Structure formats: structure tokens, C-alpha cells
Structure 1
Amino acid sequence: MEEWEVKELGRKSVREGVAHSIRSLAELKGVKIEEEKALAKAKVVEEKAYTAAKVDSRTTTGRRPDEETTQIYARKAGNLVVQAVEAIERGEDAGGKGQAGAEDYLDLCDGNREFVTAETAKELFGPILSASKSGVRRIRLSTKSFGVDAAAVAAEAFSTCRDTLVDLDLSDVIAGRPEDEAMKSLKCLCDAVEGLELESLDLSDNALGEKGIRACATALTSQKSLRGIAFRNIGCSVAACKAIHDLLACRGTLKRLHLYNNMSDNEGAFSIAKLIQETPCMEDFMMVSSRVKQEGGQRLAGALMGKNLVSLDLHDNILGPETAGALVGVLQTQQHLKHLNLSEACLEDEGVELVAGALMNSAPKLESVGLAANDITADACPSLVRSLAGKQNLREIDLKENELGDRGACLLSSILAPKAGLETLDLYQNEIGRAGAVAVVKSILACKNLKKLDLNANYIPGDCVDEIVGVMKHAFPEGSILSEFDENEEDMGDDDTDPQELQAYTQSFVDELASSFSNL
């Protein structure tokens, strides 16, 4: 099938027109630019626009009509002309986009998606390629889609900073490429990693699957000092998880492993659990939105036993109380844990109480806890609140989309005031009425570092909402702390709630809590 193309004479005419537009628009902004310089910029603009149109001409069903592709070519060129003129107005050179503020960091992610050719790559990597040896420690290529020729230029750039490069972000670098070309580009980029001593590698947001993981083999097997790796949103199937295990097995230096939005299921979790068992230094583990169920969750929990964790995130998996029970032994021993996220994990009251009990005498440095959307009712709140009471470093509590009600909100409010560092409290959609909302707001006024309080989608009477808004504006005049109440359902409130009974219940809990701490 013939591909869309523009003859060289036509492209030359476009470049001349673009150069004229750049000069004219720049002069309108009070900046004069020489014709030769405008032509040089026009050549870069036209090349990028042509490459983008060329890639967009291919669709999943074949080929886009030539007229549509030509419109894409023209539209992209027009957008790039505007960007070029804005850069001129700011006093930037054409090659300035690839330069970062810090001398040791090259960040190509500027918010513009772009199909990179060899010529464009030479421009982007100019700061590195111009030196025989570079001191760059971090490189980020994200959102720039590399063809094979462009990947070869990137490989050359990696080589010039082989003595210093430790952090390489290859996320989202093959978007829009046909599979065969994408795999070749990815392999070229990853083969170039051999000879480096990376500490961190990010392969997220690439449509990898097992084939892609195997294409990255050199990068995964050659790095003996690797401490962190990310595979977020890569189509990580059961087979891909097995490939990850095979290529990273027994990596004694690995401390951070992030998997997110994949299709791993239980079998994939088994392979990852095996990898964790073989990784003695693991301290930051994420396996989120990966369709892991109870058996997979329990296998992961077993693999985490004995690890000194700083962060654990298993949210948005169907783990159930059974996995919570398996995590008890893991959580009971943690002394350095700062971040725990078990939101949307189907824990229910039973699972939350198990987790809370495990945290009672552990995780003294805990900074954030996520238990959103777990069907938590007021019945589990005494255990949960007791476990959080002694966590003085808490900055974030996420309990949205549960069923705490007034009773649960009042219990939680009883421990908030001493937490001076608290920044976020999310109680969105928790069946909280007047009494619970007032108790929370009164307690939160002492948290001077507060940045967000969400009480939306609850059952708070309208007059009470007005009062809360006024109080919060007075207490935090410098920022918008309180989320909107656009989903509040004031008609759903329980008029039978006895404020005095609720106050007595809360006070009894507070007295009991104080007694338990005094006996420690």
C-alpha cells in the first residue's frame, strides 16, 4: 500500500512559507529575525509536522485519506509556527527546548507530543551530543515518540554520559508507532543502556506486553545497581509478569517496583510475588489496578514478610478481608512505613479492623493512609481511630466513599486536633450529617498545615454547610481548603440522631483512648 507523501518541491515551498510566517509574526511582536535563521527554524517546523502527519496517515484499519493527512500536516505546521514565535519572543533558540534548568538533567517532556526523527533527535540531544563527555545524571524522554533512527541518536547521547547517568525515564516513547517499528525502537533504546550504571529506570506508558518486556531485556539484565523500576500502564499480562520475573530475578539492589493499570490477575501476581521473595531490599512496592484477587493478594503478602517497607500500595484490586489477614504479619513489623494505600480493595469492616490492629503498635512514621471505598461502617471506626491516634506524622487520610456516618466521623474527629502536620482529610460520600461534619470541622481548625478538606456528597443540612464554609474561610483565609458541596444531599440526613447520645458515645471513646495511652 502506497504511503502518503509530499514531493520535495512541495515541502520546500512549505518551508519557505513557514519561514515567511515566522518572520512576519515575530516582527508583529517587535522582534526582528534574520532570513537565514527563520529558514533554519522553518526547516525544523516542517520536518516535525511532516513526520507527525506521516505517522498519523497510518490507522488500525489501513490508511487515512490523503486529504485528511494533508490537513494534519498543515495544522501541525501552523501550531509549531506559533510555538516557534513564542520561543523567539522569550529569547530562546530553536534548540532550547531540550535544555533543562539544571545542568545534570535533560527533560524532553515539554507538554507537546511529538514524533521524533533523527534530525529532530540531534536537536533535542544537542546539549549532550555537543560534548565529548557529559555530566548529565537524569534523562527523561517521555511523550516523545522515537523511530528507529531517532532511537539510534538517543543511544549515542546515552553513551556520552555513561559515567554519570543514573536515572533514565523511557516512559511513553513509542506511542503511535506500528508494532514492528516500536519494538525495534524500544530495543535500540534499551540495548544502549548496557554499559551504564542506572539506579532508576521507567518503562511506563509503553504498549509493551510480553514482547515489549523481552525487547527491553538488555536494560533489565545488564543493570547491576538498579534500585527502582516502573512498569505502569504497559499491558502487563500474566506472560509479561513472568518475563519481568525472569529478567529481574535475584536483583539484590532493587528497592522500588511499581506496576499500575495492568492485566496481571492472580497468575501475574504469583510471578511478581516470586520476584519480591528474591529481592531482599524491597521497600517501595506498588501493584495497583492490576486485577489481583484474594489468592494473588495473599501470595504477595507472603512475599512481603520480612521486608522493611517505606511504601505499600495495592489499591484498586479485589483483595478482600482474606488478604488483609495475610497482611497482618507484614504490617505488625514495620518501623519505617510512611505510605499505605489499600483503597478500593474490598476489605470491608473485617479487613479494616485487621489492618488497624496490625498498625496499632507499628508504623510510627506513617504519613499517609488510604482506605477509600472499602465499605467501612461506624462499627470498624473504633479500631481504625485507635490505630491512627498515635501516628503523629500523618499528612493524609483518605476515607472517601465509605459509610462512616456521624458516629464514625465524630470518633475520627477526636484524634485530629493534635495532628499539626495534617494536610489532607478526604471524607467525601460517607453519609455524614450535621453532628459529624461539625465535629470534624471543629477539630480540623487546629491543623494549620491543612490544604484540603472534602465533606462533599454527604448529608449535611444547608444551613450547616453555610456555617462550615464561613468558619473555614475565616480559619484559612489564604487558601481554598474546602471542597465544593455540589453533591451534598441534605434531604438524606437522619433526623433521629441524638446529639447528646452521640456526644456521650464520643466522650466515652476519648476517655478510653486516653486511658489506654496512659498505660503504655
Structure 2
Amino acid sequence: ATATATEGRAAMSVRSMEAGDEGQWELPASARSSAREGLMHAVRSLCELRGVKVAEETALETGRKIEEKAYTAAQVDSRTTTGRRPDAETVQIYARKAGRLVVDAVESIEKGGGTSAAKEAGAGAGGVTEFLDLCDGNREFVTAETARELFAPILGVQDPSAQTVKKIKLSTKSFGVDAAEVAAEAFAACRETLEDLDLSDVIAGRPEAEAMKSLKCLCDSVAGLSLKALDLSDNALGEKGIVACSTALTTQKTLESIAFRNIGCSVAACKAINNLLACKQTLKKLHLYNNMSDDEGAFAIASLIETTPKMEDFMMVSSRVKAEGGQRLAKALAGKPLVSLDLHDNILGAETAGALVQTLKDQPRLKHLNLSEACLEDEGTILVCQGLFQAAPELETVSLAANDITDNAVTALAQGLQGKARLRAVFLEENYDIGEEAQQWLRAQLPNVAIRFDEEEELDIDFGKMKI
């Protein structure tokens, strides 16, 4: 009922707007004020039905916060990759979001939790925790005022020595410049303790110029920190975005982990990362995923890897890398102390598999290998198994799904994977030409290993904290 009433008020106002408006979706101030009043009454009425009395001032403030969150969430979702969503759909998003938030607020009030920003941000009863996670599943445009509420667990600490936050995650909150400046204050406030900063998905729905300014503000504020991990994933960066992040890349000289997943990492962006990254001597983990890097981008990343003596965890997935780029990456990874290697969903072919033979032979710590969807076929699969033969004694999982493997490579699979005491799972689904007899034979050769040939087959295997 709350959602329906809110939708009705908003729809009447939207219909009064000029047709054909292709700018940002918005509602008149009068419509938003009316919605806030309706939300206030909804909060009070629902609380009274549950036997909880709420002061008018508290209900009014709660209604204001709910409307603000619902409005910013609707603005984020009003834009699609092809333009602006129909106004009627956006109004429904606005109304549904408001309705859900009313229910959440009433439940929180009933439990005695109130609606404090500290609770929404994940702070414990004792105040600031070690992990401030703003990713609550609610997409919203963050204003400076909202940012101060979200960062209250940090900004509210008067004594700098009392700060304990080691990790901050901002994902799904879209920051404008004003909000980014507040975030910068929070980063500075916990600069002595902050080690892990997740800036993934923080500019969604913003016009490019504003998004780049916000991103630059967030990354410039990193200069005074000593981070171990930084995540810039799920931001539409491209080369411009990498340049906007340049301060973070050039000043963080002791980073151990950095991620660029789904950022539009073009050839030029890969080159910029190689040129700007200052943590090559300490870097252990580099993740790139769902980018348009191609072979030339892989060449730039290979050059970077050559200068990272501690590389343990490398991922370059769904990045349009072909045989030449794959071979360069394989050679660059030779001699690195790898624990996890993931190159799946690239057109690597047998040529890359051949280059990986020597790389895999010299991996005493390797635990996880993913070369699924890599166009290996039988020839490439046999080469990979040659690399694993009497090597990688710590190996726990191998993924070779969707490689057009046939019965002809099954003997090589058994030879390459036998004798590995820690091996628990081999993923071979979508290799439709491995017959049932060959499947049974391979299972007999690896009796203590769960082997999946069917993607519907479930494996229940524990790896400490990881469960497949």
C-alpha cells in the first residue's frame, strides 16, 4: 500500500513534466515533499500496528531518509546502456524501493535499533569496527549529507588513536564530487589503520565528466595512505579512468593486491597500468576480468608481470587474449611463485598451452589452475598435462571445462593429475566428446578426486574456507 501511494503521487508529477525530456529523471520538490509526508504516516501507522509508539519528529526524519534513498536509487536505475528508462518504470522503482525501506525501518524500530547511519553502515554496538561495508544491496546516488551519515562510524571518532577500521568497501554507492570529498575525509581520519580499500562500482549512473572528477577525488585522497589492497573494479574506466586513478597507482608503493575487473581495460588502459603502477616489487595479486585488452593489452600486462617477483595470484579472464598474448603471459609468469592462475575464457589455443608447459613445471606452490573455455582442444590439454606431470604437488583444483576435449586426451589427464595428494576437484563440464566409458576410467584413475563432467552435477568439497 505504501508503494502504491508513493507511486501514485510520483506518477502524477511525472506526467506533468515535459514530454521528450532526455535528461536525468527527477520529480518536482512538491511531489517529493508529498511522498515524504506519506512515508512518515506509513512508518507511524505500521509501528502502531505493532504496538510501538514513534514520535512525530522521529517518523518525519525517518520518512525523509527513506525518500532520499528511494529517490537516489531510482535516479541510478533511470539510465540504461541505451538511454533513459521510461518514466513509468522509474516511478515504479522509486515506489518499490520506498516501500521496502519502510518495512526495514519499522522492523529496525521494533527491535529497538532505530535507523541510525552507524547501524546501516555495519558498525557494531561498540562503535567502529575493523570493516566498514557500505554495500548493503541498495544502489543510490550518495550526497554529501548521506556520505556523512554513512561514514559517521569513522568521522564521529574524536581521538585518531581510537580508529580501528582496516577495510572500507564503497561498492554500489555512486559518489558525486561532494560526496567523494567526504569520503576523502574518512580515509584521512583512519589513515593509520586503513589497509584495504574497495572502490569498485562507485560512479554508476554519473555523466562521464562528473564520474571522472569523482573518481579522481577518491583516488587522490589515497595518497596519504599505506594500503595493502585496492579494488577499482566495475567502474567504466578505460584509459581516461586509469589516468583519473593515477595518484592511487603511483603513490601506493606497498600494495599487495589490485583488481581491475570489468573496467573497459583497453590496450591503452593496460599500457597505462603498466606505466603507472608503483607497487611492482610488492604486488602478489593482480586481477583483470571482462575487459577488451586483446593481445596488445596482454603484452603490456606481461611486461608488468616480468617486474613483479612476488606474483602469487594472477587472473586475466574474458579479456579477448589470443595465442600471441597468451604466450607472452605464459613466459612472463615463468618462475613466479604462483598459487592461483586463471586465464579462462580467452582464445589461447594449443600455442599458449605449449608456452605454459615450462611455466607449470616450475610451480611448487600452485593450488588452483583455471584454463576453461580457452580453445585448448586435445592438443593443448595434453600439453598442459605434460606441464603438470610430476609438478605442482600442492594442486587442489583444475578447471578445463568447455575446451572440446575428447577421449583422446583422457590418458594424458590421468598421467598429469595422478600423485597429487591435495587434489580435490577437476572440472571438465561441456567437453561433450568425452564418452561415458572414458569418464568412468578417469574417475577410477583419480579415486579421491571429485570430477565434474556435467555442469548440473554438484560437488560438495571443503577447502578450508572455500566450498565448491
Task: Tell me if both proteins adopt one fold, taking TM over 0.5 as the criterion.
Answer: yes
Aligned-partner Cα distance in 2 for 1:39–1:183:
36
CA shift in 2, pair 1:49/1:278, >3 Å: same
Is the contact between residue 315 and residue 343 of structure 1 (CA under 8 Å) also seen in structure 2?
yes
In structure 1, the partner of 2:241 is 212
Residue 411 in 1 paired to residue 441 in 2? yes
> Mapping of 1:405-444 within 5 angstroms?
405-417=435-447, 419=448, 422=449, 424-428=450-454
Matched, 1:119 2:145: yes
Q: Would the aligned equivalents of 1:372 and 1:399 in 2 still touch at CA under 8 Å?
A: yes
Count of residues in Structure 1 that have an aligned counterpart in Structure 2: 432
C-alpha separation in 2, matches of 1:407 and 1:72: 53
Q: For residues 186 and 53 of structure 2, what CA distance do their matches in structure 1 show?
A: 34
What displacement does 1:145 show?
A: 1.3
- State the distance in 1 between where 2:409 and 2:81 align: 51
Residue 249 of structure 1 and its aligned partner are, at CA, apart by 5.5
The alpha-carbon deviation at position 260 of structure 1 amounts to 0.6
What is the CA distance between 1:15 and its match in structure 2?
2.2
Match for residue 107 of structure 1? 133
Q: Is the Cα–Cα contact under 8 Å of residues 155 and 189 in structure 2 kept in the other structure?
A: yes
| Residue identity opposite 2:122 in structure 1 | Q
1:98 counterpart residue number: 121
Pairwise CA distance, 1:89: 3.3
Q: 2:57 corresponds to which residue?
A: 36
Aligned counterparts of 1:321 and 1:71: Cα–Cα separation in 2: 51
Q: What pairs with 1:293-308 in structure 2 (closer than 5 Å)? A: 293-308=322-337
Provide closer, same or farther for how the CA distance between residues 199 and 35 of structure 1 changes in structure 2, counting only shifts above 3 A. Answer: same
Alignment of 1:6-405 (within 5 A): 6-55=27-76, 72-94=93-115, 95=117, 96-100=119-123, 103-132=129-158, 133=160, 134-248=163-277, 251-402=280-431, 403-405=433-435
2:137 corresponds to which letter in structure 1? Answer: G
Q: Offset at 1:5?
A: 4.8
1:174–1:211 Cα change, 3 Å: same
What CA distance in whole angstroms lies between the structure 2 residues aligned with 1:397 and 1:158? 43
Percent of counterpart pairs with the same letter?
66
Change (3 A) 1:429 1:300: same
Paired with 2:51 and 2:309, the residues of 1 have a C-alpha distance of 62
Give yes or no for contact 2:252–2:278 (8 Å, CA) kept in 1. Answer: no
Task: Provide, for residues 321-357 of structure 1, a one-character-per-residue CA deviation record: whole Å limited to 9, x for no partner.
Answer: 1100101110001100000001111111111111111
Q: After superposition, give the CA deviation of every residue in 1:144-179 in whole Å (9 maximum; x if it has no partner).
A: 111211111111111111001101111111111111
Give the AA of the match of 2:390.
Answer: N
Contact preservation (8 Å) 2:302, 2:329: yes
C-alpha spacing 1:378/1:92, structure 2 compared with 1 (3 Å): same
1:287, 1:61 → 2: CA distance? 28
- Cα distance in 2 for partners of 1:146, 1:90 equals 31
- Partners in 2 of 1:315 and 1:52 — Cα distance? 34
C-alpha distance in structure 2 between counterparts of 1:243 and 1:139, whole Å: 26
Structure 1 match to 2:5: none
The DSSP-based 3-state class of the residue aligned with 2:403 is coil
Gaps of 5+ in 1: 431-440, 442-448, 453-480, 482-520
Contact 1:367 1:393 in 2 (8 A): yes
- TM-score, structure 1 as length reference: 0.78
Structure 1's 251 and 16: CA in aligned 2 closer, same or farther, altered over 3 A?
same
Instruction: Give the stretch that moved more between structures: 66-75 or 359-368.
Output: 66-75
Following superposition, the deviation at residue 64 of structure 1 comes to 6.5
The Cα of 1:205 is off from its aligned counterpart by 0.9
- Measured after TM superposition, the shift of residue 13 of structure 1 is 3.4
> What's the CA shift string for 1:92-149, capped at 9, x where partnerless?
2312110245820011111222221111111111111101332100111111111211
Aligned-partner Cα distance in 2 for 1:342–1:262: 17
Aligned pair in 2 of structure 1 residues 17, 245: CA closer, same or farther (>3 Å)?
same
Which deviates further from its counterpart, 106-115 or 216-225? Answer: 106-115
Distance 2:346 2:290 in 1: 10
| Superposition deviation, residue 6 in structure 1 | 4.5
1:69 deviates by 5.3
1:451 matched to 2:460? The reply is yes
- What amino acid sits opposite 2:444 in the alignment? S
Could you say what secondary structure the match of 2:372 adopts? coil
Query: Which stretch shows the higher mean deviation, 193-202 or 393-402?
Result: 393-402
Conservation of the 8 A alpha-carbon contact between 2:191 and 2:224: yes
Provide the rounded CA distance (Å) in 1 between the counterparts of 2:279 and 2:61.
51
Aligned to 1:379, what secondary structure does the other structure show? helix
TM-score normalised according to structure 2 size: 0.86
How much does 1:73 deviate? 4.0
Match of 1:516 in 2: none
Cα distance in structure 2, aligned partners of 1:112 and 1:54: 12
